[in-house]
Structure 1
Amino acid sequence: MKNTLLSLMLADSGAMPALKVDCVPLPVGLLASESDFSVYFPVDALITLGPAQATPSARGVVALVGQHGCVGPLQKGAARMQAHVMVAGHAYRVDWTPVRDDPARYAPWLWHQTAAMQRRVSQIAQWSFCVQHHTPMQSLSSWLLHCLAQHPHADLTLSLNALPQSIRQWVDLSQAGARLAPDALAFNVCDGCLRMPSAPDLAALACPCHAQMSSDVASA
């Protein structure tokens, strides 16, 4: 499995016969689940997760999910969260019904899924703090480092139109600052796309929030 979290869960081989796992394509846009009990484990897609209705306090800050995490179940109104596919790709879709119906058998799965969701909540909380205390360049660099950590390819290019509004604002403010100080230019924005700098370049620009983030890589 190319999703580290799902690979860890499937190490319990006794759980496999009751599970339905499909590899499905995810186009850019709102993640529309076929079932209220589907969980998506991205492979090379990147998904943003945020409040369905952004409030002034949340400022539209979103968490990021990729090859080390999962999204779902996407029960309508359950957590008032929406998932959007930011980078098209593939994900493993798992029918969560057997897990829901037999929680004792799948207790390790439930623990890992709950831990993954907690990491998403922690991300949102940390970004909310970040936008109030650090520059857009610092916040954007830290967020892009998470993109690289969650994607299997280092040569990642992001469409500006697919970015969440709050992240696009960071890009615009960072570009405006760079025009005033050309030596500070760090991101190549051209033809509606943002081409990612190297991880070391991003790390040099990132705010301290990045070091405070809990690891997105699931531990055994």
Structure 2
Amino acid sequence: MLTTSNQLLSRLLHTTPEAAEHLERVTLSRGLWPMEGQNLGEGHVYFPEAGLMGLRWPSPALPGVGMVLLGCHAGWWPEIGHLGPVQTHVLQAGHAQRIRWSVLQAQPQRYAHWLLQAAAASQQLVHQMARKVHCVQNHTLVQRLASGLLAVRQHNPHGAEPILMTDLAHWLSCPVAELQAAAQVLQTHRAVQWAEDADAGAPLHSSQPQKLASLACACHEHLAQGQRSSGSASA
């Protein structure tokens, strides 16, 4: 049976191992996704195994709220029209497995158990967005950046690739200059490594989770608790 680092896909393969025959591996390239000319494939469900994606629902009702993180706990349906326009951004390059949605639809009884798990897991996206709203309204940018970097480690624990400052600013919905000032504070406490004289596209390295945790709010802990109970998915 195919082994995978994606928790939601692992549950699918555990309940219905034959689903592995329908899986296809695709590349996640950093930046807006899909890239120009890239074929997503019609009606596929995506399971990131390495790399990190963010989903953003542009909404004037939620100003300053960044993207929901999708990594090794997640599954994603790009054709998610009932939720309105979705912007997808790959924060860390990697790869994902995908399966045609029609395969799952064609045998609802065979996949019923997993579909119920996926439906329960989908609530974690809502919880994550609600937590982001709370975080923006109640915590400083230094706390949010430290907590966000810890969340990145939770969603992509095997990814050593740093995140660019411009991508972090996009995710946290703040000006790059303000994010650079927050990164300087974290660097003063030796929680991150960042070249202060570099341009806005410089990478930010976070290899000190204990130090990050001492400066962060607790929002990443709430998200981790939800992942342990049901994972993250969009349905």
Q: TM-score range by the shorter chain?
A: 0.7 to 0.9
- 2:207 is the alignment partner of 1:211: no
- 2:19 is the alignment partner of 1:16: yes
1:77 equivalent among 57, 62, 81: 81
**In the alignment, is the contact (CA less than 8 A) between 1:47 and 1:85 conserved in 2?**
yes
**Partner letter of residue 195 of structure 1?**
H
1:158 counterpart residue number: 163
Which segments of 5 or more consecutive residues in structure 2 lack a partner in the other structure?
none
- 2:5 is the alignment partner of 1:2: yes
Helix, strand or coil at the partner of 2:14: coil
Alignment of 1:45-194 (within 5 A): 45-51=51-57, 53-72=58-77, 74-75=78-79, 77-80=81-84, 81-153=86-158, 155-163=160-168, 165-167=170-172, 169=174, 172-176=177-181, 183-184=188-189, 186-190=191-195, 191=198, 192-194=202-204
**In the alignment, is the contact (CA less than 8 A) between 1:59 and 1:166 conserved in 2?**
no
Task: Report the Cα distance in structure 1 between the residues aligned to 2:194 and 2:64, rounded to whole angstroms.
Answer: 24
Q: Larger deviation: 102-111 or 164-173?
A: 164-173
The CA deviation string for residues 150-199 of structure 1, in whole angstroms up to 9 with x for no partner, is: 11336341122333525262764354257689845643223411111322
* Structure 1 residues 187 and 174: alpha-carbon distance in aligned structure 2, compared to 1, 3 A threshold: farther
Pairwise CA distance, 1:215: 2.7
* TM-score scaled by length of structure 2: 0.79
* Structure 1 residues 195 and 126: alpha-carbon distance in aligned structure 2, compared to 1, 3 A threshold: same
Pairwise CA distance, 1:94: 1.4
* Cα RMSD for the two superposed structures: 2.8
2:41 equivalent among 28, 31, 35: 35
* Structure 1 residues 189 and 68: alpha-carbon distance in aligned structure 2, compared to 1, 3 A threshold: same
User: Percent of counterpart pairs with the same letter?
Assistant: 31
**Partner letter of residue 90 of structure 1?**
H
The CA deviation string for residues 5-31 of structure 1, in whole angstroms up to 9 with x for no partner, is: 2112110236527x5101111111333
Helix, strand or coil at the partner of 1:45: strand
Which segments of 5 or more consecutive residues in structure 1 lack a partner in the other structure?
none
**Partner letter of residue 127 of structure 2?**
S
